[in-house]
């Protein structure tokens, strides 16, 4: 259970894969407070309040071009609300 009820978590569950590891690394680079949890076949990343996946960071970790819509191939589940999704980033947060 969340200890700190003032800071609501958002997060995403991804399939365990090379691409997902790069996405998780990009999220962790952007959010040093990110917590990564693993269960069989899955990698889950949780961030307080707002999670941003930035294309430039994913590309840095993948060492190749990455289309933000390719997130469709890795995502298993998420919690929060998708606030924005364009060429450069995906943002998951809570709006209220």
Partner 1 sequence: MATSKMGLKETYRAMIRGLEWTPTYQPPEAIYPYHTFEGIKIHNWDDWEDPFRITVESYWKYQAEKDRRFYAILDGFIQSQGHLNISDARYLNALKLFLQGVTPLEYMAHRGFSQIARFLPGAAPAFAALAQSMDELRHAQTQLHAISPYNRYYSGFHSMRRWHDRVWYLSVPKSFFDDAVSSGPFEFLTAISFGFEYLLTNLLFVPFMSGASFNGDLTTMTFGFSAQSDESRHMTLGLEAVKFMLEQDEDNVPIVQQWIDKWFWRAYRVTALVAAMMDYMLPRRFMSWKEAFELYFEEQMMNGLFPDLKYYGINPPRHVAQAIAEKDYLSHQVYWVLYSFTYAAMFHTWVPEPQELDWLSQKYPGTFDRYFRPLFERAREAQAQGHRHYFAGLPQLCQVCQIPMAFTYPGEPIRHQQRASVYQGETYWTCSEGCQWIFEREPEKYIQAWLPVHEIFKGNCGGASVPEVLAWYGDQGDSGDYLDSQDRKHWIAWHEQVNQLV
Residue count at the site for partner 1 (CB under 8 A)?
34
83 binds partner 1 (CB under 8 A): yes
* Dist CA 60 CA 40 (whole Å): 27
79 binds partner 1 (CB under 8 A): yes
75 binds partner 1 (CB under 8 A): yes
In the range 8-37, which residues lie near partner 1 by CB under 8 A? 8-11, 13, 15
Interface residues toward partner 1, by CB under 8 A: 1-2, 5, 8-11, 13, 15, 39-42, 68-69, 72-87, 94-96
């Amino acid at each position: 259970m969340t200890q700190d009820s003032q800071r609501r978590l958002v997060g995403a569950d991804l399939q365990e894969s090379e691409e997902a590891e790069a996405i998780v690394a990009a999220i962790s680079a952007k959010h040093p407070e990110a917590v990564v949890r693993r269960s069989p076949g899955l990698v889950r990343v949780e961030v307080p309040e707002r999670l941003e996946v930035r294309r430039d960071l994913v590309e840095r970790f993948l060492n190749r071009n990455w289309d933000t819509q390719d997130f469709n191939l890795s995502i298993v589940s998420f919690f929060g609300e998708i606030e924005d999704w364009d060429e450069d980033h995906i943002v998951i947060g809570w709006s209220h």
